Structure 1
Amino acid sequence: MIDFRYHLVSIVAIFLALAVGIVMGTTLLQNPAVELAKKTSDDLAKSNGELRAEKEDLARRQAGNDSFVKEMTPVLAKVEGGLSGQKVLLVDAPGSTPALREAQQQVLELAEATVVGRVTISEKFLALDSEAVLDGLALQLKPTDLTYPTTATVYDKVAQLLADTLMTTDPAQTMPASSEAVLGAFQKGGFLSVEGKLTGPATLAVMFAPDKPFEGERADTQAGALVSVAAGLDIGSRGALIAGAETAVAPGGVITELRDSGEITQRVSSIDTLDMPAGRVVTVYALREQLAGRAGQYGIGTGATGFQPPVPSPTPVPSSSGS
């Protein structure tokens, strides 16, 4: 039988071992551990300071770059006549930022383009329960000479109808007689709105992408619907592009959907730097490229082929000496 004295000796031995461990830890391990922790802390503080300085330097460089581009935008936008003689339709997607569109409109006007008006697509346009109504409108309102492909989706049909109403390849063309009925029906249904009175059909279209990507089960369908609209406007005109900030290149983003769409990327351009002054100038160059029958994906996000298309050369000005 184990007596009390055995228990007492065992307890004393346990506490003695603990005391020895504590003493060894404080005498043998304390200094190296503290020194290592201090060194690690100093290294992290140094690295953090360097990163902060690098961030501040990059911010100064970006601010300087933006300032330069803002000052030079009138000159850059007018290279080779800019967009003189072209008529541009602005299309606001649901969730796009008015400030970015307004800034881009100013640059388009500096490039001597005529903005014929603005169409805003509503969230209802992208709702699941709206598809049957949209399909009915597309069939009911189409002119007799307009034929939809057998493989066309609801949004393909609507895009083709809107392009027939809003777009042209001839700057001298006037609004078709059916435009009032078509636009009126879509506005009455709450699918889109028209800012003011359109001054005529456009030769070019700029769609402004939503700031935030779509989420949920219908994200790809909603983004794809807007890509279909842009593609339809492109077919009915001399060119179209989708412009937005880098957030539009996230999963569920409209520019992401465009860049993953295969054949459409060969016709419709995109710019993901609209929140940068340089990006607004790039939009002008991308529209000029559209007029030449080419397309490109520009910016800094996934799928971009470069920051900008080849910059057009300014027309040489003859010297006074005639040499």
Structure 2
Amino acid sequence: MIDFRYHLVSIVAIFLALAVGIVLGTTLLQDPALDLAKRTSDELTSANNGLRADLDALRGREAGNDAFITARTPQLVAGELTGQRVLLIEAPGSSTSVREAAQQVLEQAGAKVSGRLLLTEKFFDPAGKGVLDGLVDQLKPATMIFPPTATSYDRAATLLAAALVTNDPAQAATPNTATAGVLDAFETGGLLSVEDDPEKRATLAVMFAPEKPYEGETAESQAGALVSVADGFDAAGKGTVIAGAAADTAVPGDAITAVRDESEISRRVSTVDTADMPMGRVVIVYSLTEQLAGHAGQYGIGKDASGGALPAMTTATPTPSAQSGS
């Protein structure tokens, strides 16, 4: 009969055999294994050092290019937007520094910034569509008729755009008496805030997209709401550009991607996904000039930037009487 001592001896024998095997294995394979590990480590270190050197070189080139474009920007954009008024629309989560830099370049191009419209998260909250619809129904002029397919954001954008932009140069810098009180009501409702005097209507609009795409179940609908706002302002004025930074990957919650995925809207609204770069701020100006000529394009380095880095035609200087194709 097998007793406990038999089991104990068997277990000891097994562990002894394992110990002997480990000792013999490490002794016999020690030098080749260490040599292989050292060679692999040296190769990885060399490759890593090479990649670091490449990255440093690219950063140096980028810094040099940025410095050159920044220094030449006043000459690159001079006179491009003379006589135009531009409204700045800031989505929740957009970059203040990007907006400030772009505003400076717009002014260097001869544009007058009429003011800033800062939309809040509440504006884009899907749960608040009823409030949005109620305000629009209460404030819209009797002559303002919406298409049957218009969404809550389409309707709100149409009303706000009528108050803030115009495609008639003769009406620029004047309030729209038919929409008096619209901004106050939306601001009281916590849907937006304003800076400067945007009620003195602009001719063009630049919307700054959120730095990070929307996430979660409502991401796609929120990005779509931003697109509706941009499209509404484009229809009422002489053109609209959405500006931001290229997303790492195309995602449903990215506003710029959402415009580029909408074939009809992308024919009217332009996008620039390099607004965080000196080059991109120049491209914003050129895109607005293109809008004045009746065209639109998708520019930058991100997915579906079908127009390349910048519009092909960058030399035409718009006049206040230029017709918009938006």
**TM-score calculated relative to the size of structure 2:** 0.89
Instruction: Verify the 8 A CA contact 1:168 1:201 in the aligned structure 2.
Output: yes
The equivalent position to 1:89 in structure 2, one of 84, 87, 90, is: 87
Partner Cα separation in structure 1 for residue 163 and residue 35 of structure 2: 75
Please say which structure displays the higher CA radius of gyration: 1
Cα 1:240–1:20, aligned 2, differ >3 Å: closer, same or farther? same
Aligned to 1:157: 155
Deviates more, 1:171-180 or 1:90-99: 171-180
Q: Give the 3-state SS of the residue equivalent to 1:91 in structure 2.
A: strand
Deviation (angstroms), 1:158: 0.8
Q: Are 1:267 and 2:268 an aligned pair?
A: yes
Instruction: Verify the 8 A CA contact 1:241 1:270 in the aligned structure 2.
Output: yes
Q: How does 1:109-188 map to 2 (within 5 A)?
A: 109-173=107-171, 174-188=174-188
Deviates more, 1:169-178 or 1:16-25: 16-25
Partner Cα separation in structure 2 for residue 103 and residue 117 of structure 1: 15
Q: How does 1:159-308 map to 2 (within 5 A)?
A: 159-173=157-171, 174-198=174-198, 200-247=200-247, 250-251=250-251, 252-305=253-306, 306-308=308-310
Partner Cα separation in structure 1 for residue 57 and residue 191 of structure 2: 46
Instruction: Verify the 8 A CA contact 1:169 1:237 in the aligned structure 2.
Output: yes
Instruction: Verify the 8 A CA contact 1:87 1:171 in the aligned structure 2.
Output: no
Instruction: Verify the 8 A CA contact 1:249 1:272 in the aligned structure 2.
Output: no
Instruction: Verify the 8 A CA contact 2:141 2:179 in the aligned structure 1.
Output: no
Residue identity matched to 1:219: A
Partner Cα separation in structure 2 for residue 172 and residue 8 of structure 1: 102
The equivalent position to 1:104 in structure 2, one of 86, 102, 105, is: 102
Instruction: Verify the 8 A CA contact 1:155 1:228 in the aligned structure 2.
Output: yes
Deviation (angstroms), 1:11: 7.4
Aligned to 1:320: none
Partner Cα separation in structure 1 for residue 266 and residue 8 of structure 2: 84
Structure 1, residues 106-154: CA drift from partner, whole Å, max 9, x if none?
A: 1001100111111111111112332111111212211122110011011
Partner Cα separation in structure 2 for residue 314 and residue 69 of structure 1: 20
Aligned to 2:321: none
**TM-score calculated relative to the size of structure 1:** 0.89
Partner Cα separation in structure 1 for residue 250 and residue 263 of structure 2: 17
Q: Give the 3-state SS of the residue equivalent to 1:145 in structure 2.
A: coil
Instruction: Verify the 8 A CA contact 2:176 2:199 in the aligned structure 1.
Output: no
Deviation (angstroms), 1:262: 2.5
Q: Give the 3-state SS of the residue equivalent to 2:143 in structure 1.
A: coil
Cα 1:243–1:128, aligned 2, differ >3 Å: closer, same or farther? same
Residue identity (%): 59
Partner Cα separation in structure 2 for residue 201 and residue 68 of structure 1: 35
Q: Give the 3-state SS of the residue equivalent to 2:87 in structure 1.
A: strand
Instruction: Verify the 8 A CA contact 1:76 1:281 in the aligned structure 2.
Output: yes
Residue identity matched to 2:85: K
- Provide runs of 4+ in structure 1 moved above 6 Å: 2-13
Partner Cα separation in structure 1 for residue 85 and residue 271 of structure 2: 19
Aligned to 2:39: 39
Q: What root-mean-square deviation, in Å, do the aligned CA atoms of Structure 1 and Structure 2 show?
A: 2.4
Instruction: Verify the 8 A CA contact 2:207 2:242 in the aligned structure 1.
Output: yes
Aligned to 1:319: none
Partner Cα separation in structure 2 for residue 16 and residue 139 of structure 1: 87
Residue identity matched to 1:277: P
Which consecutive residues of structure 2, in runs of 5 or more, have no partner in the other structure? 318-326
Deviation (angstroms), 1:74: 0.3
Deviation (angstroms), 1:204: 0.7
Structure 1, residues 32-53: CA drift from partner, whole Å, max 9, x if none?
A: 1111111110011001101111
Instruction: Verify the 8 A CA contact 1:282 1:308 in the aligned structure 2.
Output: yes
Cα 1:87–1:19, aligned 2, differ >3 Å: closer, same or farther? closer
Instruction: Verify the 8 A CA contact 2:244 2:274 in the aligned structure 1.
Output: yes
Instruction: Verify the 8 A CA contact 1:166 1:179 in the aligned structure 2.
Output: no
Deviation (angstroms), 1:313: 3.6
Number of aligned residue pairs: give it. Answer: 313
